């Protein structure tokens, strides 16, 4: 039975807070990576495994979070996840070597990865079926706010304290969440006698680990020019095929793929995958634009994104109310896409002269569009799930969003690298001694440098270096602009897919779940 009164709101705020905390940890650490490198004495390539290990663990645990919730009870699993997340946060902050840090980040991901879908499942059971849109709106507040405030918090902690506090800060936050979960969330039945699908677990682990390493490390290793990337790609493809066959044929699968019989869920997770590609791709690129080209600090980058977060949070309850009153989710999300495309077009016009204030309105528009996308897309996906399918479905849906993000970041990283080489080759044609504009600027810089006391040959070499650096910055700027155009076009493709889906505000399936 759904909850009522103050208890419903306490449970809602508890799971939203826990979701925010887990998702915040995915971005708060990224800002501190340069400090970790210096403290632990490792290279940039090595420290990347701290992010890779966490991503692998999360993708591994997401699809089986529903099964774990059924086997051990949803409240027990949720509580164990937060306790494990707390313990691993302490040991990650206390790590004295890169190997220790990678290990505890992996364990932290295993513990915390299931918190988000379990929180969604708890919310779906806490709210009446006709208020599903509002429940997803409340969840969306935490899901969107966490990654947005992560860079701000990470930048502040790193600048004023130590990178280790990016992990230690989880401990008091988790303690509060543990108290409220223990006190207010009800126990659900446990299926103790259900056999464990060990082969399914093994195949899932092999497939996820192989795929995530390829996506996370492929660009750095020049993709299929590296033997182990080729081998892991083959292992991932074969592993997923065998895993799907196993889960569809075994009596007690660890991941219940039979819920794909619901047309709404099948279309929903496909839409979620594509949404993850575009959303995470844009989130990935604009901090690089701000810091690599415009010289913003990590803290400044986070501050610039605050208006976007506030708009999203303010709009979420309104979107939930509109869904409750019968506003079609596919219409809302299509409007959100159009608004998001406006953000992409605006960002593609960026110049090197832009400052922090120039991004206020583009990011406000992004926040508005995002609020109209996250909630309706999630609602469309889970609206027909019933009973135990809720936990399985929310886990799979969240996994697809994460996978979309991994694909999006890998594709955009490769795209930027290729487009940068393309633009640089075009701009190089202007660095021609017979080009009057080039000669005018080159000679002006040489004259300036010789006036500062440099020898003529030194001045020429320094002038060429400065012009080459300017050309590289222009190439990178043009590449980032291309990314925003591509993301915009990608989102246009989503509109007909969304409009082909149907929204049932009072789904009988969801009613049966209660």
Q: How many CB atoms lie within 10 A of CB 499?
A: 13
User: Is a pLDDT exceeding 60 seen at residue 406?
Assistant: yes
- Sole residue written with tokens 């701290």: 50
Q: What is the gyration radius of the CA atoms in the chain, in angstroms?
A: 24
**Nearest 10 degrees: Cα torsion 49, 53, 55, 56:** 130
Query: Considering only CA atoms, which of 54, 30, 168 is closest in space to residue 113?
Result: 54
- Sole residue written with tokens 């204030």: 357
What is the token pair recorded at 49?
């495994």
Helical (H) or strand (E) element with 411: helix 389-428
Q: For residues 477 and 185, which has the higher predicted lDDT (pLDDT)?
A: 477
Percent of the chain with pLDDT over 90: 2
Q: For residues 387 and 396, which has the higher predicted lDDT (pLDDT)?
A: 396
Q: For residues 163 and 391, which has the higher predicted lDDT (pLDDT)?
A: 163
Q: If you average pLDDT over residues 400-413, what whole number do you get?
A: 78
- Sole residue written with tokens 């889970």: 382
What is the token pair recorded at 331?
């219409």
Q: Tell me how far apart the alpha carbons of residues 215 and 109 are, in angstroms, rounded to a whole number.
A: 17
User: Is a pLDDT exceeding 60 seen at residue 287?
Assistant: yes
Q: How many CB atoms lie within 10 A of CB 151?
A: 26
Q: Tell me how far apart the alpha carbons of residues 40 and 57 are, in angstroms, rounded to a whole number.
A: 23
Query: Considering only CA atoms, which of 117, 91, 130 is closest in space to residue 18?
Result: 117
User: Is a pLDDT exceeding 80 seen at residue 84?
Assistant: yes
State the pLDDT at residue 234: 92
Q: How many CB atoms lie within 10 A of CB 11?
A: 23
Q: Tell me how far apart the alpha carbons of residues 208 and 118 are, in angstroms, rounded to a whole number.
A: 20
Q: Tell me how far apart the alpha carbons of residues 504 and 264 are, in angstroms, rounded to a whole number.
A: 10
**All domains of the chain, ordered by start, with CATH?**
1-186 (1.20.1250.20), 256-408+473-514 (1.20.1250.20), 422-472 (no CATH)
What backbone torsions phi and psi does residue 250 show, to the nearest 5 degrees?
Answer: -85, 150
What is the token pair recorded at 464?
């060429």
Q: If you average pLDDT over residues 390-408, what whole number do you get?
A: 76
Q: Tell me how far apart the alpha carbons of residues 340 and 492 are, in angstroms, rounded to a whole number.
A: 10
State the pLDDT at residue 373: 83
State the pLDDT at residue 510: 40
Q: How many alpha carbons lie under 13 Å from residue 17 in its C-beta half-sphere?
A: 18
Split at pLDDT 50, 70, 90, the class of 507 is very low
With beta carbons less than 8 A apart as the criterion, state whether 72 and 118 touch: no
Q: If you average pLDDT over residues 463-467, what whole number do you get?
A: 71
Split at pLDDT 50, 70, 90, the class of 506 is low
Q: Pick from 77-86, 266-275, 405-414, 417-426 the range whose average pLDDT is largest.
A: 77-86
Q: State the DSSP string of 43-89.
A: -HHHHHHHHHHHHHHHHHHGGGHHHHHHHH-HHHHHHHHHHHHHHHH
Q: Tell me how far apart the alpha carbons of residues 24 and 396 are, in angstroms, rounded to a whole number.
A: 20
User: Is a pLDDT exceeding 70 seen at residue 241?
Assistant: yes
What backbone torsions phi and psi does residue 196 show, to the nearest 5 degrees?
Answer: -90, 130
Q: Tell me how far apart the alpha carbons of residues 200 and 257 are, in angstroms, rounded to a whole number.
A: 12
State the pLDDT at residue 513: 35
User: Is a pLDDT exceeding 60 seen at residue 199?
Assistant: yes
State the pLDDT at residue 511: 34
- Sole residue written with tokens 């449970």: 11
* pLDDT tens per residue across span 105-162: 889 988 888 787 788 778 777 777 667 667 777 777 777 677 667 767 777 777 777 7
Split at pLDDT 50, 70, 90, the class of 3 is low
Q: Tell me how far apart the alpha carbons of residues 333 and 311 are, in angstroms, rounded to a whole number.
A: 16
- Sole residue written with tokens 């779906």: 124
Q: If you average pLDDT over residues 167-172, what whole number do you get?
A: 84
Residues in contact with 239: Cβ distance below 8 Å, sequence separation at least 6, in sequence order: 203, 206, 207, 210
Q: If you average pLDDT over residues 84-91, what whole number do you get?
A: 90
With beta carbons less than 8 A apart as the criterion, state whether 367 and 308 touch: yes
- Least confident window among 159-163, 196-200, 371-375, 434-438: 434-438
State the pLDDT at residue 191: 67
Long-range contacts of 469-477 (CB under 8 A, 24+ apart): 471/424, 471/427, 471/428, 471/431, 472/424, 473/293, 473/352, 474/352, 474/423, 474/427, 475/420, 475/423, 475/424, 475/427, 476/292, 476/293, 476/416, 476/420, 477/289, 477/293, 477/350, 477/351, 477/352
Q: Tell me how far apart the alpha carbons of residues 8 and 50 are, in angstroms, rounded to a whole number.
A: 37
SS3 348: coil
Q: Tell me how far apart the alpha carbons of residues 460 and 445 are, in angstroms, rounded to a whole number.
A: 8
Predicted TM-score (pTM) of the model is 0.73
The C-alpha angle 20, 331, 119, rounded to 5 degrees, equals 25
State the pLDDT at residue 4: 59
User: Is a pLDDT exceeding 50 seen at residue 308?
Assistant: yes
> What does the DSSP 8-state code read for residue 226?
S
Q: Tell me how far apart the alpha carbons of residues 4 and 231 are, in angstroms, rounded to a whole number.
A: 53
In terms of DSSP H, where are the helices of 164-262? 165-168, 170-184, 198-217, 227-249
């Amino acid at each position: 039975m759904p909850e009522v009164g103050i208890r419903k709101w306490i449970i809602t705020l508890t799971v939203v807070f826990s979701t925010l905390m887990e998702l915040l940890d995915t971005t708060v650490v990224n800002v501190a990576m340069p400090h970790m490198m210096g403290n632990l004495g490792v290279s940039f390539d090595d420290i990347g495994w701290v992010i890779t290990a966490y991503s692998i663990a999360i993708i591994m645990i997401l699809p089986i979070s529903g099964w774990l919730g059924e086997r051990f009870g949803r409240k027990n699993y949720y509580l164990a996840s937060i306790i494990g997340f707390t313990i691993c946060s302490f040991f990650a902050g206390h790590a004295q070597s890169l190997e220790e840090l990678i290990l505890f980040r992996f364990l932290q991901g295993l513990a915390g990865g299931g918190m988000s879908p379990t929180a969604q499942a708890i919310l779906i059971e806490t709210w009446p079926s006709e208020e599903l849109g509002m429940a997803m709106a409340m969840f969306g507040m935490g899901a969107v706010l966490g990654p947005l405030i992560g860079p701000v918090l990470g930048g502040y902690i790193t600048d004023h304290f130590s990178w280790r506090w990016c992990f230690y800060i989880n401990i008091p936050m988790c303690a509060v969440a543990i108290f409220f979960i223990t006190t207010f969330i009800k126990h659900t039945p446990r299926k103790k006698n259900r056999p464990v699908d060990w082969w399914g677990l093994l195949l899932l682990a092999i497939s996820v680990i192989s795929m995530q390493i390829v996506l996370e490390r492929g660009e750095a290793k020049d993709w299929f020019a590296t033997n182990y990337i080729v081998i892991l790609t083959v292992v991932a493809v074969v592993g997923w095929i065998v895993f799907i066959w196993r889960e569809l044929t075994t009596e007690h699968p660890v991941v219940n793929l039979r819920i794909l019989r619901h047309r709404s869920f099948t279309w929903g997770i496909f839409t979620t995958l594509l949404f993850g590609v575009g959303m995470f791709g844009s989130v990935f690129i604009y901090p690089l634009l701000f810091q690599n080209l415009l010289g913003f600090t990590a803290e400044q980058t986070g501050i610039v994104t605050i208006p976007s977060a506030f708009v999203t949070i303010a709009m979420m309850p309104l979107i939930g109310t509109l869904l409750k009153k019968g506003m079609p989710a596919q219409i809302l999300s299509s409007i959100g896409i159009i608004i998001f495309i406006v953000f992409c077009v605006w960002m593609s016009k960026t110049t090197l002269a832009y400052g922090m204030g120039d991004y206020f309105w583009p990011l406000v528009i992004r926040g508005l569009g995002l609020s109209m996308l996250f909630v309706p897309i999630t609602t469309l996906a889970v609206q027909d799930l019933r009973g135990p399918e809720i936990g399985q479905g929310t886990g799979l849906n969240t996994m697809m969003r994460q996978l979309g993000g991994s694909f999006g970041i890998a594709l955009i990283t490769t795209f930027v690298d290729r487009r940068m080489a393309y633009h640089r080759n075009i701009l190089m044609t202007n660095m021609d001694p017979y080009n009057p504009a080039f000669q005018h600027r080159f000679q002006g810089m040489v004259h300036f440098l010789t006036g500062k006391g440099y020898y003529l040959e030194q001045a020429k070499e320094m002038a060429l270096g400065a012009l080459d650096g300017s050309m590289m910055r222009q190439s990178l700027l043009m590449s980032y602009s291309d990314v925003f155009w591509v993301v915009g076009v990608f989102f246009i493709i989503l509109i007909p897919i969304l409009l082909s889906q149907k929204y049932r505000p009072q789904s009988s399936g969801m009613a049966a779940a209660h």
